[in-house]
Structure 1
Amino acid sequence: MNEDELNISIRKFLKMVGVNSQREIEHAVARAVREGTITGTETLPARMTLEIAGLRLKAEFDGEIRLEPGAAP
């Protein structure tokens, strides 16, 4: 195994996930505000699941997306 190649590959994957996830969240928030589903002041619980079948890895990460500073859940 080449440690440098592994590290580069992981970083590229995480960058792609981060950029695309941010875009998807921004579009979903804009759509929900436009449709009146949310007001745009909420704090929304969020969960990300990372799966790599070949490693039998399934890791879940919980957090929140705040739409305003100090927003309530």
Structure 2
Amino acid sequence: MDEERFNMALRKFLKEVGVTSQREIEKVVRDGKAPGDVLRVKMTLTSSDGSLDHVVEGEIPTG
């Protein structure tokens, strides 16, 4: 395995996930679709071959 190439590809993927996720969260809050002062979020990371299943949950203050 080419460690440098792998790390570059991984960082590129994570950057895309982060940027697009932030945009979607901002849109929900801006459009008033997040009732209350906290947006409860959940991110699920899976792979198509089933070898990866990771869940992160959190709360984002909106008010």
Question: What TM-score comes out, normalization by structure 2 length?
Answer: 0.85
- Which structure carries more helix by proportion? 1
Number of equivalent positions? 63
Q: Distance in 2 between matches of 1:44 and 1:23?
A: 14
CA RMSD of aligned residues (A): 1.7
Runs of 4+ in 1 over 3 A off after TM superposition: none
User: Percent of aligned pairs with the same residue?
Assistant: 41
Counterpart residue identity of residue 17, structure 1: V
| Cα distance change on mapping 1:5 and 1:54 into 2, 3 Å | farther
| Runs (5+) with no aligned partner, structure 1 | 69-73
Determine which structure has more spread, i.e. the larger CA radius of gyration.
1
Which residue of 38, 44, 57 corresponds with 1:62? 57
Matched, 1:38 2:35: yes
TM-score (norm 1): 0.75
Q: What residue number does 1:27 align with?
A: 27
- Of 52-61 and 13-22, more deviation after overlay is shown by 52-61
